[in-house]
Amino acid sequence: MARPRTGDARATWRIGATMLALALPLLLSAQVEGGLYIAGDGFSLEQAATRGLAQNPNGQRFFVLVLPPTTRALTTTAPEALVALRNRVLAGNGVLLVCQRDIDSGAVDATSLIPGVVRVRGWPPPDSDALPQGERYYPGENPASLPQANDALRRLRATCS
């Protein structure tokens, strides 16, 4: 078998290195985000937080949607044990979420929420143009604070509808 010329080997190496450099961000972004965990819908905050932390041990961002009455953990007056739990979630790169509908209904007092809790809107009513056709996010919504994965975002919006 003929040995490749030096120029051919270098070109092959450069092509391989370029392909790896282009693919690496895709591989890393797939590993950066974890799942969505819901507290208050048959699961306690402790269960949702523990599962989220266990399934995302390497600093992957994950999301914990907290439904009433479990939302007390997200308030400035939360008991010490709940503060410790939410701090573990935040330290583990978790994002704490509440439904805007729960704030609108009065089930959650927005003025008592700790800074950083993300408010999530559900699906708009039929024939509404609040969420533009083909868009994933409402105008003014920060996509960086919500799941990138379509299935997690759909589940989040459905739960908050």
- CATH code (residue 70): 3.40.1260.10
Q: What is the SS3 assignment for 130?
A: coil
Task: Identify whether 20 is part of a domain.
Answer: no
Q: Whole-angstrom Cα distance, residue 56 to residue 34?
A: 6
Q: What is the pLDDT along the chain (161 residues), one digit of tens a residue?
A: 555 555 555 544 444 444 444 444 443 444 568 999 999 978 999 999 999 999 998 889 999 999 999 999 999 999 999 999 999 999 999 999 999 999 999 999 999 999 999 999 999 988 888 888 888 999 989 999 999 999 999 999 999 99
Decide if 29 is inside a domain.
no
- Kindly report the number of other CB atoms within 10 A of residue 120's CB atom: 23
Q: Does the residue 23 lie in any domain?
A: no
Residue at 155 is within a domain: yes
Which string of b and e fits 92-105 if b means at least 16 CB within 10 Å?
bbbbbbbbbbbbee
Q: What pLDDT does residue 3 have? A: 59
Q: Does residue 70 fall inside a structural domain? A: yes
What pLDDT score does 18 carry? 41
- pLDDT for residue 57: 85
Q: Is 114 part of a structural domain of the chain? A: yes
Give the total number of structural domains in the chain: 1
Please give the C-alpha separations between residue 65 and each of 2, 9, 48, 139, in angstroms, as whole numbers.
61, 52, 9, 21
pLDDT of residue 59: 85
For residue 12, is it within any domain?
A: no
Question: Does any domain span residue 42?
Answer: yes
How far is it, in rounded angstroms, from Cα 153 to Cα 86?
A: 22
Residue 114 lies in domain:
34-159
